[in-house]
Amino acid sequence: MNLMAAVELIQAPLSETLLRLSAVLAEAVPHRTIAQLSGNCAYSPFLTHGESPGRPGSIVTAADLAALRPLLPARGNWQGRAQVAGVDVPVLALTSDITGQSALLVVVRTEDTPVPEEHLTRAQLLWDLVAAHRDGLRTEALPGSLAASRAAAAARAAAIAELRDAHGGVLTALLGILRDRALDDTNARTRAVDVAVSALADLRSRAELDQSLAEERAGDAFERLAVSLRRILRARNVRLELGPPGVEEGADRLLPADVTDTLLAVVRATVHASLDDQGHGPEGDGEHRVHVGWKVGTDELRATVRDNGPGTLSRGALDARRVNERLAPLGGRVDLDAVPGWGTTVIFEIPLASPSTPRQDPLTALGARELQVLGQLARGRRNRDIAQDLHISESTVKFHVARILGKLGVSSRGEAAALAHEWGAA
Protein backbone atom coordinates (compact mmCIF):
# COMPACT_ATOMS: atom_id res chain seq x y z
CA MET A 1 0.00 0.00 0.00
CA ASN A 2 1.34 3.46 -0.93
CA LEU A 3 1.84 5.16 2.45
CA MET A 4 1.68 8.66 0.95
CA ALA A 5 -1.69 7.83 -0.61
CA ALA A 6 -2.89 6.65 2.80
CA VAL A 7 -1.65 9.86 4.44
CA GLU A 8 -3.42 12.08 1.88
CA LEU A 9 -6.56 9.97 2.29
CA ILE A 10 -6.62 10.71 6.03
CA GLN A 11 -5.74 14.39 5.57
CA ALA A 12 -8.57 14.94 3.10
CA PRO A 13 -11.81 16.55 4.32
CA LEU A 14 -14.54 13.99 5.02
CA SER A 15 -16.48 15.23 2.01
CA GLU A 16 -13.59 14.14 -0.23
CA THR A 17 -12.69 10.82 1.40
CA LEU A 18 -14.73 8.68 -0.97
CA LEU A 19 -13.41 10.55 -4.01
CA ARG A 20 -9.80 10.04 -2.87
CA LEU A 21 -10.42 6.39 -1.99
CA SER A 22 -11.86 5.82 -5.45
CA ALA A 23 -8.73 7.34 -7.01
CA VAL A 24 -6.41 5.17 -4.91
CA LEU A 25 -8.31 1.97 -5.79
CA ALA A 26 -8.81 2.80 -9.48
CA GLU A 27 -5.72 1.06 -10.83
CA ALA A 28 -5.96 -2.15 -8.79
CA VAL A 29 -9.77 -2.38 -8.87
CA PRO A 30 -11.12 -0.61 -11.98
CA HIS A 31 -14.63 0.64 -11.24
CA ARG A 32 -17.25 3.14 -12.28
CA THR A 33 -19.00 3.72 -8.94
CA ILE A 34 -18.03 3.44 -5.29
CA ALA A 35 -20.39 3.73 -2.30
CA GLN A 36 -20.33 3.42 1.48
CA LEU A 37 -22.83 2.58 4.21
CA SER A 38 -21.09 3.48 7.45
CA GLY A 39 -22.55 3.22 10.94
CA ASN A 40 -19.85 5.50 12.41
CA CYS A 41 -20.75 8.41 10.16
CA ALA A 42 -24.16 9.25 11.50
CA TYR A 43 -24.59 12.46 9.53
CA SER A 44 -23.86 11.09 6.07
CA PRO A 45 -24.04 7.31 6.54
CA PHE A 46 -24.65 6.69 2.84
CA LEU A 47 -22.37 8.27 0.24
CA THR A 48 -21.66 7.46 -3.38
CA HIS A 49 -19.18 8.67 -5.98
CA GLY A 50 -18.81 7.77 -9.62
CA GLU A 51 -19.91 8.45 -13.15
CA SER A 52 -23.21 10.04 -14.08
CA PRO A 53 -26.31 7.93 -13.44
CA GLY A 54 -27.18 7.58 -17.10
CA ARG A 55 -25.46 4.21 -17.35
CA PRO A 56 -27.20 1.05 -16.07
CA GLY A 57 -25.89 -0.07 -12.71
CA SER A 58 -24.34 3.31 -11.85
CA ILE A 59 -27.05 4.41 -9.42
CA VAL A 60 -26.20 2.74 -6.14
CA THR A 61 -28.77 3.10 -3.36
CA ALA A 62 -28.60 2.48 0.38
CA ALA A 63 -31.05 -0.39 -0.08
CA ASP A 64 -28.67 -2.01 -2.62
CA LEU A 65 -25.82 -1.88 -0.11
CA ALA A 66 -27.97 -3.13 2.75
CA ALA A 67 -28.94 -6.16 0.64
CA LEU A 68 -25.25 -7.12 0.36
CA ARG A 69 -24.57 -7.07 4.12
CA PRO A 70 -25.70 -10.67 4.77
CA LEU A 71 -23.13 -11.92 2.25
CA LEU A 72 -20.16 -10.55 4.21
CA PRO A 73 -18.44 -11.45 7.49
CA ALA A 74 -17.88 -8.81 10.20
CA ARG A 75 -14.57 -8.01 8.54
CA GLY A 76 -13.65 -9.23 5.09
CA ASN A 77 -14.77 -9.09 1.49
CA TRP A 78 -17.08 -10.61 -1.07
CA GLN A 79 -16.92 -10.34 -4.84
CA GLY A 80 -19.37 -11.51 -7.45
CA ARG A 81 -22.40 -10.29 -9.33
CA ALA A 82 -25.26 -8.50 -7.62
CA GLN A 83 -28.35 -6.46 -8.42
CA VAL A 84 -27.60 -2.74 -8.30
CA ALA A 85 -30.41 -0.40 -9.34
CA GLY A 86 -32.13 -3.39 -10.94
CA VAL A 87 -29.08 -4.31 -13.07
CA ASP A 88 -26.83 -7.36 -12.61
CA VAL A 89 -23.27 -6.00 -12.26
CA PRO A 90 -19.89 -7.23 -10.91
CA VAL A 91 -19.15 -5.80 -7.47
CA LEU A 92 -16.54 -5.96 -4.74
CA ALA A 93 -17.85 -5.45 -1.19
CA LEU A 94 -15.61 -4.77 1.81
CA THR A 95 -16.64 -4.57 5.45
CA SER A 96 -14.68 -3.38 8.48
CA ASP A 97 -15.36 -4.26 12.12
CA ILE A 98 -13.54 -1.21 13.48
CA THR A 99 -16.87 0.12 14.78
CA GLY A 100 -19.87 -1.44 16.49
CA GLN A 101 -21.89 -1.12 13.29
CA SER A 102 -19.68 -2.53 10.56
CA ALA A 103 -18.71 -0.07 7.82
CA LEU A 104 -19.56 -1.32 4.32
CA LEU A 105 -17.87 -0.27 1.07
CA VAL A 106 -19.24 -1.42 -2.30
CA VAL A 107 -17.33 -0.99 -5.56
CA VAL A 108 -19.27 -1.39 -8.83
CA ARG A 109 -16.55 -2.79 -11.09
CA THR A 110 -15.96 -2.40 -14.81
CA GLU A 111 -14.80 -6.00 -15.29
CA ASP A 112 -15.88 -9.43 -14.08
CA THR A 113 -12.53 -11.10 -13.43
CA PRO A 114 -11.75 -11.85 -9.74
CA VAL A 115 -9.67 -9.26 -7.92
CA PRO A 116 -6.27 -10.79 -6.97
CA GLU A 117 -5.70 -11.48 -3.28
CA GLU A 118 -2.86 -8.95 -3.16
CA HIS A 119 -5.17 -6.14 -4.26
CA LEU A 120 -7.94 -7.35 -1.95
CA THR A 121 -5.61 -7.12 1.05
CA ARG A 122 -4.58 -3.56 0.18
CA ALA A 123 -8.18 -2.49 -0.41
CA GLN A 124 -9.22 -4.02 2.93
CA LEU A 125 -6.45 -2.19 4.80
CA LEU A 126 -7.42 1.12 3.21
CA TRP A 127 -11.08 0.65 4.15
CA ASP A 128 -10.09 -0.30 7.73
CA LEU A 129 -7.99 2.87 7.84
CA VAL A 130 -10.89 5.05 6.68
CA ALA A 131 -13.29 3.40 9.15
CA ALA A 132 -10.84 3.83 12.05
CA HIS A 133 -10.21 7.48 11.15
CA ARG A 134 -13.93 8.27 11.06
CA ASP A 135 -14.53 6.43 14.32
CA GLY A 136 -11.82 8.53 15.92
CA LEU A 137 -13.48 11.73 14.71
CA ARG A 138 -16.79 10.49 16.06
CA THR A 139 -15.25 9.73 19.47
CA GLU A 140 -13.61 13.15 19.68
CA ALA A 141 -16.81 14.96 18.58
CA LEU A 142 -14.78 17.89 17.23
CA PRO A 143 -16.83 21.11 17.08
CA GLY A 144 -15.99 22.06 13.49
CA SER A 145 -17.07 18.69 12.14
CA LEU A 146 -20.18 18.68 14.32
CA ALA A 147 -21.42 22.04 13.02
CA ALA A 148 -21.24 20.96 9.38
CA SER A 149 -22.47 17.45 10.09
CA ARG A 150 -25.47 18.63 12.08
CA ALA A 151 -26.60 20.75 9.13
CA ALA A 152 -26.15 17.77 6.79
CA ALA A 153 -28.19 15.55 9.10
CA ALA A 154 -31.03 18.07 9.28
CA ALA A 155 -31.07 18.48 5.50
CA ARG A 156 -31.11 14.72 4.94
CA ALA A 157 -33.93 14.19 7.43
CA ALA A 158 -35.96 16.96 5.78
CA ALA A 159 -35.44 15.42 2.33
CA ILE A 160 -36.53 12.00 3.53
CA ALA A 161 -39.61 13.47 5.20
CA GLU A 162 -40.56 15.25 1.98
CA LEU A 163 -40.08 12.08 -0.06
CA ARG A 164 -42.12 10.06 2.41
CA ASP A 165 -44.99 12.53 2.34
CA ALA A 166 -44.98 12.99 -1.42
CA HIS A 167 -44.57 9.35 -2.44
CA GLY A 168 -46.68 8.04 0.40
CA GLY A 169 -49.57 10.33 -0.52
CA VAL A 170 -49.44 9.44 -4.21
CA LEU A 171 -49.16 5.70 -3.64
CA THR A 172 -51.91 5.68 -1.02
CA ALA A 173 -54.22 7.50 -3.43
CA LEU A 174 -53.25 5.03 -6.14
CA LEU A 175 -54.16 2.12 -3.92
CA GLY A 176 -57.55 3.68 -3.18
CA ILE A 177 -58.34 4.05 -6.85
CA LEU A 178 -57.15 0.60 -7.84
CA ARG A 179 -59.11 -1.06 -5.06
CA ASP A 180 -62.33 0.53 -6.30
CA ARG A 181 -64.62 -2.36 -7.26
CA ALA A 182 -66.12 -0.24 -10.01
CA LEU A 183 -62.93 -0.68 -12.04
CA ASP A 184 -62.62 -3.54 -14.52
CA ASP A 185 -59.57 -5.53 -15.66
CA THR A 186 -59.01 -7.35 -12.36
CA ASN A 187 -55.62 -8.75 -13.29
CA ALA A 188 -54.19 -5.32 -14.12
CA ARG A 189 -55.63 -3.89 -10.91
CA THR A 190 -54.11 -6.71 -8.82
CA ARG A 191 -50.70 -6.24 -10.37
CA ALA A 192 -50.80 -2.46 -9.84
CA VAL A 193 -51.77 -2.96 -6.20
CA ASP A 194 -48.81 -5.30 -5.69
CA VAL A 195 -46.41 -2.80 -7.25
CA ALA A 196 -47.74 0.06 -5.11
CA VAL A 197 -47.59 -2.00 -1.91
CA SER A 198 -43.99 -2.98 -2.67
CA ALA A 199 -43.07 0.65 -3.34
CA LEU A 200 -44.58 1.73 -0.02
CA ALA A 201 -42.67 -1.00 1.80
CA ASP A 202 -39.41 0.03 0.11
CA LEU A 203 -39.97 3.67 1.02
CA ARG A 204 -40.61 2.72 4.65
CA SER A 205 -37.51 0.51 4.81
CA ARG A 206 -35.32 3.31 3.50
CA ALA A 207 -36.57 5.70 6.17
CA GLU A 208 -36.04 3.05 8.86
CA LEU A 209 -32.52 2.34 7.59
CA ASP A 210 -31.56 6.01 7.74
CA GLN A 211 -33.04 6.28 11.22
CA SER A 212 -31.07 3.28 12.48
CA LEU A 213 -27.79 4.84 11.29
CA ALA A 214 -28.44 8.45 12.36
CA GLU A 215 -30.02 7.75 15.77
CA GLU A 216 -29.21 5.70 18.84
CA ARG A 217 -31.21 4.48 21.83
CA ALA A 218 -30.41 6.48 24.95
CA GLY A 219 -29.82 3.27 26.94
CA ASP A 220 -27.37 1.93 24.35
CA ALA A 221 -25.44 5.21 24.27
CA PHE A 222 -25.17 5.24 28.08
CA GLU A 223 -23.86 1.67 28.04
CA ARG A 224 -21.16 2.73 25.56
CA LEU A 225 -20.23 5.49 27.98
CA ALA A 226 -20.18 3.09 30.94
CA VAL A 227 -17.80 0.72 29.15
CA SER A 228 -15.36 3.53 28.35
CA LEU A 229 -15.50 4.93 31.91
CA ARG A 230 -14.81 1.52 33.45
CA ARG A 231 -11.76 1.31 31.23
CA ILE A 232 -10.58 4.77 32.37
CA LEU A 233 -11.07 4.06 36.08
CA ARG A 234 -9.93 0.43 36.10
CA ALA A 235 -6.43 1.22 37.38
CA ARG A 236 -7.47 4.09 39.67
CA ASN A 237 -8.67 4.00 43.25
CA VAL A 238 -12.04 5.42 42.20
CA ARG A 239 -15.47 3.87 42.56
CA LEU A 240 -17.74 4.45 39.59
CA GLU A 241 -21.43 4.85 40.33
CA LEU A 242 -23.77 4.79 37.35
CA GLY A 243 -27.27 6.19 37.00
CA PRO A 244 -28.43 4.94 33.58
CA PRO A 245 -31.72 6.25 32.22
CA GLY A 246 -34.59 3.90 33.01
CA VAL A 247 -37.67 3.46 30.89
CA GLU A 248 -39.27 6.45 32.61
CA GLU A 249 -36.11 8.50 31.98
CA GLY A 250 -36.23 7.74 28.25
CA ALA A 251 -33.90 4.72 27.92
CA ASP A 252 -35.73 3.50 24.82
CA ARG A 253 -35.96 6.89 23.17
CA LEU A 254 -34.03 7.34 19.93
CA LEU A 255 -31.65 10.29 20.07
CA PRO A 256 -29.58 12.07 17.39
CA ALA A 257 -26.18 10.39 17.22
CA ASP A 258 -24.33 13.71 17.25
CA VAL A 259 -25.96 14.55 20.60
CA THR A 260 -25.04 11.21 22.21
CA ASP A 261 -21.51 11.27 20.77
CA THR A 262 -20.93 14.81 22.07
CA LEU A 263 -22.28 13.98 25.52
CA LEU A 264 -20.04 10.91 25.73
CA ALA A 265 -17.02 13.03 24.81
CA VAL A 266 -17.68 15.83 27.34
CA VAL A 267 -18.52 13.40 30.16
CA ARG A 268 -15.28 11.48 29.58
CA ALA A 269 -13.35 14.77 29.48
CA THR A 270 -14.97 15.86 32.75
CA VAL A 271 -14.13 12.56 34.45
CA HIS A 272 -10.49 13.01 33.41
CA ALA A 273 -10.56 16.56 34.80
CA SER A 274 -12.11 15.23 38.02
CA LEU A 275 -9.31 12.68 38.38
CA ASP A 276 -6.75 15.47 37.98
CA ASP A 277 -8.61 17.52 40.60
CA GLN A 278 -8.70 14.60 43.04
CA GLY A 279 -4.95 14.24 42.61
CA HIS A 280 -4.55 17.65 44.29
CA GLY A 281 -6.57 16.65 47.37
CA PRO A 282 -5.22 15.31 50.66
CA GLU A 283 -4.18 11.66 50.74
CA GLY A 284 -5.87 9.03 52.87
CA ASP A 285 -9.24 10.80 53.04
CA GLY A 286 -11.26 7.75 51.96
CA GLU A 287 -12.40 6.23 48.69
CA HIS A 288 -12.93 8.58 45.78
CA ARG A 289 -16.25 8.26 44.00
CA VAL A 290 -17.54 9.48 40.65
CA HIS A 291 -21.24 9.32 39.87
CA VAL A 292 -22.49 9.65 36.27
CA GLY A 293 -26.18 9.83 35.44
CA TRP A 294 -28.33 10.58 32.42
CA LYS A 295 -31.89 11.76 31.95
CA VAL A 296 -33.75 12.28 28.68
CA GLY A 297 -36.10 15.25 28.86
CA THR A 298 -38.76 16.34 26.42
CA ASP A 299 -36.45 18.75 24.62
CA GLU A 300 -32.97 18.03 25.95
CA LEU A 301 -30.55 15.34 27.10
CA ARG A 302 -29.07 15.95 30.57
CA ALA A 303 -25.99 14.36 32.10
CA THR A 304 -24.62 14.76 35.62
CA VAL A 305 -21.05 14.08 36.76
CA ARG A 306 -20.58 14.28 40.54
CA ASP A 307 -17.49 13.48 42.64
CA ASN A 308 -16.45 13.64 46.30
CA GLY A 309 -13.07 15.20 45.56
CA PRO A 310 -11.53 18.37 47.01
CA GLY A 311 -14.09 20.56 45.23
CA THR A 312 -11.56 22.71 43.41
CA LEU A 313 -12.47 21.75 39.83
CA SER A 314 -12.73 24.92 37.74
CA ARG A 315 -14.31 25.91 34.44
CA GLY A 316 -10.81 26.54 33.18
CA ALA A 317 -10.02 22.84 33.62
CA LEU A 318 -13.06 21.97 31.49
CA ASP A 319 -12.10 24.58 28.88
CA ALA A 320 -8.64 23.05 28.69
CA ARG A 321 -10.31 19.79 27.69
CA ARG A 322 -12.49 21.58 25.09
CA VAL A 323 -15.78 20.85 26.83
CA ASN A 324 -17.51 24.14 25.97
CA GLU A 325 -16.00 24.06 22.50
CA ARG A 326 -17.63 20.68 21.85
CA LEU A 327 -21.01 21.76 23.25
CA ALA A 328 -21.25 25.06 21.36
CA PRO A 329 -22.22 23.74 17.87
CA LEU A 330 -25.17 21.86 19.38
CA GLY A 331 -26.35 24.71 21.59
CA GLY A 332 -25.37 22.79 24.73
CA ARG A 333 -24.45 24.31 28.08
CA VAL A 334 -22.59 23.29 31.24
CA ASP A 335 -23.14 24.23 34.89
CA LEU A 336 -20.40 23.62 37.46
CA ASP A 337 -20.87 23.70 41.24
CA ALA A 338 -17.66 23.11 43.20
CA VAL A 339 -17.78 23.14 47.01
CA PRO A 340 -14.31 23.01 48.65
CA GLY A 341 -14.02 19.96 50.85
CA TRP A 342 -17.23 18.37 49.55
CA GLY A 343 -16.79 17.76 45.84
CA THR A 344 -17.98 18.97 42.46
CA THR A 345 -21.16 18.56 40.45
CA VAL A 346 -21.16 19.22 36.70
CA ILE A 347 -24.42 19.23 34.72
CA PHE A 348 -24.63 19.17 30.94
CA GLU A 349 -27.71 19.89 28.84
CA ILE A 350 -27.87 19.46 25.07
CA PRO A 351 -31.02 20.35 23.06
CA LEU A 352 -32.41 17.48 21.01
CA ALA A 353 -33.46 19.81 18.18
CA SER A 354 -30.97 21.37 15.78
CA PRO A 355 -30.14 24.94 16.85
CA SER A 356 -30.35 27.78 14.39
CA THR A 357 -26.87 28.78 13.25
CA PRO A 358 -25.59 32.19 12.12
CA ARG A 359 -23.54 32.74 8.98
CA GLN A 360 -20.27 30.87 9.39
CA ASP A 361 -16.75 31.38 8.23
CA PRO A 362 -16.67 30.02 4.65
CA LEU A 363 -13.15 28.69 5.23
CA THR A 364 -14.49 26.06 7.66
CA ALA A 365 -15.45 24.05 4.57
CA LEU A 366 -11.76 23.59 3.74
CA GLY A 367 -9.52 20.82 5.00
CA ALA A 368 -6.15 21.35 6.67
CA ARG A 369 -4.17 20.88 3.45
CA GLU A 370 -6.54 23.14 1.50
CA LEU A 371 -6.05 25.90 4.08
CA GLN A 372 -2.29 25.57 3.64
CA VAL A 373 -2.65 25.86 -0.14
CA LEU A 374 -5.04 28.82 0.22
CA GLY A 375 -2.58 30.63 2.50
CA GLN A 376 0.15 30.24 -0.10
CA LEU A 377 -2.22 31.22 -2.88
CA ALA A 378 -3.24 34.38 -0.99
CA ARG A 379 0.44 35.40 -0.94
CA GLY A 380 0.56 35.22 -4.72
CA ARG A 381 2.56 32.00 -4.91
CA ARG A 382 2.51 29.94 -8.12
CA ASN A 383 1.51 26.27 -8.17
CA ARG A 384 5.12 25.15 -8.64
CA ASP A 385 6.30 27.14 -5.60
CA ILE A 386 3.39 25.88 -3.48
CA ALA A 387 4.20 22.29 -4.44
CA GLN A 388 7.83 22.70 -3.41
CA ASP A 389 6.97 24.30 -0.05
CA LEU A 390 4.35 21.70 0.86
CA HIS A 391 6.30 18.73 -0.57
CA ILE A 392 3.47 17.61 -2.86
CA SER A 393 3.17 17.32 -6.62
CA GLU A 394 2.10 20.24 -8.81
CA SER A 395 -0.90 18.22 -10.04
CA THR A 396 -2.00 17.78 -6.41
CA VAL A 397 -1.78 21.55 -5.94
CA LYS A 398 -3.99 22.06 -9.01
CA PHE A 399 -6.47 19.57 -7.56
CA HIS A 400 -6.55 21.46 -4.24
CA VAL A 401 -6.95 24.84 -5.95
CA ALA A 402 -9.91 23.55 -7.98
CA ARG A 403 -11.52 22.16 -4.83
CA ILE A 404 -10.91 25.43 -2.97
CA LEU A 405 -12.59 27.51 -5.68
CA GLY A 406 -15.55 25.14 -5.75
CA LYS A 407 -16.01 25.05 -1.97
CA LEU A 408 -15.71 28.82 -1.60
CA GLY A 409 -18.04 29.43 -4.55
CA VAL A 410 -15.59 31.71 -6.34
CA SER A 411 -14.34 31.68 -9.91
CA SER A 412 -10.76 32.93 -9.61
CA ARG A 413 -7.65 32.67 -7.48
CA GLY A 414 -7.95 36.40 -6.77
CA GLU A 415 -11.43 36.01 -5.24
CA ALA A 416 -10.20 33.10 -3.14
CA ALA A 417 -7.24 35.18 -1.96
CA ALA A 418 -9.59 38.02 -0.99
CA LEU A 419 -11.67 35.66 1.16
CA ALA A 420 -8.48 34.31 2.75
CA HIS A 421 -7.47 37.83 3.79
CA GLU A 422 -11.00 38.69 4.98
CA TRP A 423 -11.23 35.64 7.25
CA GLY A 424 -7.65 35.67 8.50
CA ALA A 425 -6.17 32.72 6.58
CA ALA A 426 -3.37 34.77 5.04
Residues, the chain: 426
**pLDDT value of residue 357:** 46
Asked whether 300 and 351 are in contact (CB, 8 A), the reply is yes
Give residue 306's region: left, alpha or beta (phi > 0; psi -120 to 50).
beta
Phi, psi of 264 (to 5 degrees): -60, -45
Which helix H or strand E contains 350, and what residues bound it?
Answer: strand 343-351
Asked whether 61 and 87 are in contact (CB, 8 A), the reply is no
Asked whether 352 and 301 are in contact (CB, 8 A), the reply is yes
Q: Tell me how far apart the alpha carbons of residues 364 and 377 are, in angstroms, rounded to a whole number.
A: 17
pTM of the model: 0.46
Q: State yes or no: pLDDT of 178 exceeds 70.
A: no
Give the highest mean pLDDT range of 67-71, 164-168, 226-230. Answer: 226-230
**pLDDT value of residue 349:** 92
Q: Tell me how far apart the alpha carbons of residues 419 and 113 are, in angstroms, rounded to a whole number.
A: 49
Asked whether 253 and 130 are in contact (CB, 8 A), the reply is no
Q: State yes or no: pLDDT of 155 exceeds 60.
A: no
Percentage of residues in the chain having pLDDT higher than 90:
11
Q: Find the range with the poorest average confidence among 42-56, 118-132, 294-308.
A: 42-56
**pLDDT value of residue 284:** 44
Q: What is the DSSP letter of 282?
A: P
Q: How confident is the model at residue 238 (pLDDT cuts 50, 70, 90)?
A: confident
Q: State yes or no: pLDDT of 46 exceeds 80.
A: no
Q: State yes or no: pLDDT of 358 exceeds 50.
A: no
Beta strands in 22-110 (DSSP E): 31-37, 46-50, 76-84, 87-96, 103-109
